[in-house]
Chains A and B, each alone.
Chain A
Amino acid sequence: MPATSTLSSAEFLKTLPGDDVRQILWRFQDRFDLQMLVQSVRGVARGPVARLVAQGGRLTHDWTPEKNQLLEEFDNAGITAAFMEPHEGGYIEGPKNLALSLIAFELAWVDGGAATASLATHLGLAPIHEKGTPEQQAYYMGIAAPQPGRPPKRAAFALTEPIPYVGVETGILCGKVRIAEWPEGGEPILEVSKRGRFITNMGFANFVTAAVESDDPRLKGTMMVILHEDDPGVFDRGTPTRKLVHQLSSTADPVFQLKVPASRIIGGYRVADGQVIPTYDHGNVIEAVFRRTRVGVGLMTSAKLLSAIEPLIRYHRDRFRGSGAVAPGSPRYELGLQQKEDVTHRLLDVWATGEAGSSLGFATARIFDTIDPVEKAKDKYFAEQGIGGGTTVIKALRKRLPDALEFIELNGKGEMARQSARYAELAADPVVQFMIVDAEASVLCPATKLWNTGNGSRVMREAVSLMGGYGITEDCPGFLGYKWMDTQLEATYEGPEAVQRRQLSVTMTSEVFLAQFRQWTQEMRKVAAQAPGTGACTLASAMNLWAWTLDYLQHGKDASGQRLYQGTRQGVTFPMADALCWLLSSRCQILDVENLRQNAAMLQDGAEGTIQFLTDLCHIQSARAAGEVARICTELVYGYMLHPSWTRPEDCNNCFREEELQQIESIIPGSSGFVVDVRNDDGSHSTKAGPCVHASGLNDFTRLRNKLDGCLAGAMLAKDRAGESLQKVMIPAALDYPL
């Protein structure tokens, strides 16, 4: 902490950011339906869910009556119906990605398993919601909506299978489906054989959406089918999975051997040449599902990081209170461990990560709310044009690439360009608009899942360690130990980290995304010009370095002449995906705080201190992001070169001989100190691995890297300032959920 404060009292954070601040940051200040949903879910999370955790509900793998009671709480609080349309029994109009993300966030604030139980019901329904026939949607969404006097039917999603296909190989299925009977002129009856692994909700699900592959020449490809618990055959829920975490969700390894009508194929089918051809293969369905539901999982970890702030501040402040040896009013009594800079600085890292993850996750959720109607408009347009599925769509989209890039360019040119007729034409074009939001969503979704959970897990460990030994006990306020362990599963659910990196390594190189990325870099400079303390300029420099490095890697070769950026070279592609996530999360955080700054008048009091503190958190996070990006880019740019060697004459072209140094020294005394590489004719040389690297063509990289290093100026001052706020901020007298 600096010896003297540089801030007025108005510039310190007065209280922890409340709902009014969060609603502006995450852009639902005008959505009263969502504000109410948040309050309703919070009541369940910090009431029944927290009580069950405190009573030891997590200490068994079994699905107990107490856990089952939570489902009823979800129903009563409107959590279950939040997924449905009003005509299906729901109450939220339109896309619901932000709504479901807020639910996951609020529940995970207390317990990730409860959030998973809620999300899994929606996940089970999602294949039907996204790709089901109108009849399937009307029926299943209707029975899944809570109605007075009738308990809702609950769904599970069965994709993952036992070894060897457990894990990332979702493209390969051992679950099989055959045609058992096909009456003349009637509907085929399918025989489904599927074993699931780690299937959530299996302890109570009434129906299951399962991925299977045809084992019959009369049935084409893969598909998803709906299985009912009362279908003829075996509907074995299996034994509970002995997982270590997320114990408030039901997970089991079920076995299904059932006969179902072909009308249960999700999305329907057609018959051609005596073959049943499903409308969608299972890949189409799960892609549409996961790209939405992964966002909520990412936000679960971020919620935990933010939930850790209040109990940690309280623990640090109260650490020495109650001891007779520490007098009230003394700094040790008032500040406790907060007297130590390490404590406040590390807590700020936890807080900044939580803010950045939340900003990224909610931005992604909002993008999906945007994309839903745009995608429908695009599909309608293509249908009118007679453009079907598969490669024809890809070709049609590729044809419109110049238009999409033109729109992005016009968008970045300012208000004048945006008033042009061409801009209006492209803005109204469903295909162009779809290409733009789809490119963004295809990057933001895996970035949220990967960064929020993977990096969040590491930072959550830091939060636990900040609670000392208390952190790893069942009594820890805020259940931090449980939350830390849970993050590991969140990093794995719905596609582990490698899957997200793989997807990012492809989507982040799309031309449409990169065109937007370049504009985002400019956007950060503009933000920095208006609000210099945000770290936006630092981030823009890091974005430039990343973009330069990507271009270099895409065109460059390693020491043995192999291409650097290629699908199989995950040592290159995956770290670049990681680096991008740091940039995206920091950018979203800065934009959210900028939005708060612009709407500060909506806050009743304390806006200046709140904005200053959140701005400092942005600066802290952008500096950290810039550091990560610089490290990764430098490793990749230099790491695939051979280090110059004393034994290769061409590597020693820039070396001096000792005799030359003596001559130089005689002319300009002291100048030989700047020379690092010396190689004499007798083979003796400086004591090091080889001459220093003088790679041609990397001057731009060096310049960008040097610029970035300088851009970190002020980041630690921001941390000091925020640390002072941590010492002064008023927190509630007690946590609002039980221990």
Chain B
Amino acid sequence: MPYQIIVCGGLAPDPLQTLEPVTTPAGPGLKNELMLPAVFDPWAGHALYEAANLAKNVPGSVIKVVSIAPKAKLQQVMMTVAQKLPFELVPLDGPGGGFTDSASIAAALADAIAAIPGLDKSQMLLFGGWESATRGAGVVMQMVGEKLGITEQFLAVDELKVDESGALIIKERVEGGRHQVSKCAAPPAVLAWATGNLPEPSNHPQTGMANMRAMMPALQKAKAAALTTTVSYASVALPSVTRQTKIVKDVPAAQIAQELADWIRQ
């Protein structure tokens, strides 16, 4: 059975950039945020690559990416992402930082997905990142699923297989470094991906150009996401970096490993 795979994914600042929290009139933000190069959120990226793999193996499947982000920035990022696999973009113009309200984002995503013409929920797999690189709240996908009435939800997914009967075999991360394998008889389902197992597909401009024929009009017509927020931030700061240096000589590797293990346990 072909799937309609909806991938939710936003943007994140390029991780190599210097990220400096600042207070803006609209709340917390990053210094020069709109000027920083952005990337497709890596968690959502894994979901997208898994979606591409599934679509390739199940002929007739289609992928639609629903994204809330500043549309000019999204257009720049699509110049790379759109080269990796064929998909359709459903863009919503909105903030790209990590300080938006998760519930509000989830509502906007759910509304946008529900409005996709021809969407058949019986074929729908809702993909996204388990967390996001900007926020890490890990709650958006569940809320989107709930709002769309999809109760089969799988979090921190590392693998998806389809068995002979068409059932989904899903491997999720659970506590203690273990995996839990579940069987889901059929769509619809929410799969919030951890890292998956697939490498990033290489770029090819030819694929991108085919995608962009539909993406550019969609980006130009992108509506502003209706976001509300009830969240207020007392303070924001970068995680502190702790560096402890010890100079040693002639210490066996096993002893160094033991010290590291002890340090990690602390």
Contacts and interface: CB of A to CB of B under 8 A. Distances in A.
Nearest to B31: A730
A216 B56 CA distance: 59
Interface centre among B33, B203, B212 (most CB of A within 10 A): B203
Contacts of B14: 732, 736
B213 to A, nearest CB: 9
B16 A733 contact: yes
Nearest to B201: A76
Interface stretch (A29-37, A294-302, A585-593): A29-37
B206 interface: yes
B181 interface: no
A221 to B, nearest CB: 41
Contact of A77 (B35, B37, B76, B204): B204
Contacts of B32: 14-15, 605-606, 730
A631 to B, nearest CB: 39
B216 interface: yes
Given A14-B32, A730-B31, A40 B205 contact: yes
Contacts of B70: 604
Contacts of A287: none
A43 B216 contact: no
B142 interface: no
B18 interface: yes
B209 A15 contact: no
Given A32-B209, A91-B206, A734 B216 contact: no
B80 A33 contact: no
B42 to A, nearest CB: 15
A317 to B, nearest CB: 11
A475 interface: no
Contact of A604 (B16, B35, B82, B205): B35
A604 B32 CA distance: 10
B202 A36 contact: no
Contacts of A95: none
Interface string B190-226: 0000000000001111101100100010000000000
Interface string A711-739: 00000000000000000001111111000
A625 interface: no
Nearest to A21: B35
B203 A77 contact: yes
B35 A605 contact: yes
A76 B202 contact: yes
A36 B18 contact: no
Interface residues of A, number: 32
Interface string B175-200: 00000000000000000000000000
Contact of B76 (A14, A20, A81, A731): A20
Interface in B132-160: none
Interface string A25-62: 00000001101111110010000000000000000000
Contacts of A76: 202, 204
A4 B72 CA distance: 36
A19 interface: yes
A606 B37 CA distance: 13
B102 to A, nearest CB: 24
A19 B37 contact: yes
Contacts of B208: 32, 36, 40
Contacts of A39: 79-80, 83, 203
B73 interface: yes
Given A35-B79, A40-B204, A736 B16 contact: yes
A606 B33 CA distance: 10
B219 to A, nearest CB: 11
B165 interface: no
Contact of B205 (A14, A18, A36): A36
Nearest to B81: A39
Contact of B79 (A36, A78, A92): A36
Interface string A75-97: 01110011000000001100000
A43 B80 contact: yes
A609 to B, nearest CB: 9
A730 B19 CA distance: 10
B36 A15 contact: yes
Interface of B: 14, 16-20, 31-37, 70, 72-73, 76, 79-80, 82-83, 202-206, 208-209, 212, 216
Interface of A: 14-15, 18-20, 32-33, 35-40, 43, 76-78, 81-82, 91-92, 602, 604-606, 730-736
16 contacts: A19-B79, A20-B76, A36-B80, A36-B82, A36-B209, A40-B80, A40-B203, A40-B204, A43-B203, A77-B204, A91-B209, A730-B18, A730-B20, A731-B18, A732-B14, A736-B14
The 9 closest A-B pairs by CB, nearest first: A605-B34, A40-B203, A36-B208, A91-B206, A36-B205, A604-B34, A39-B80, A78-B205, A15-B35
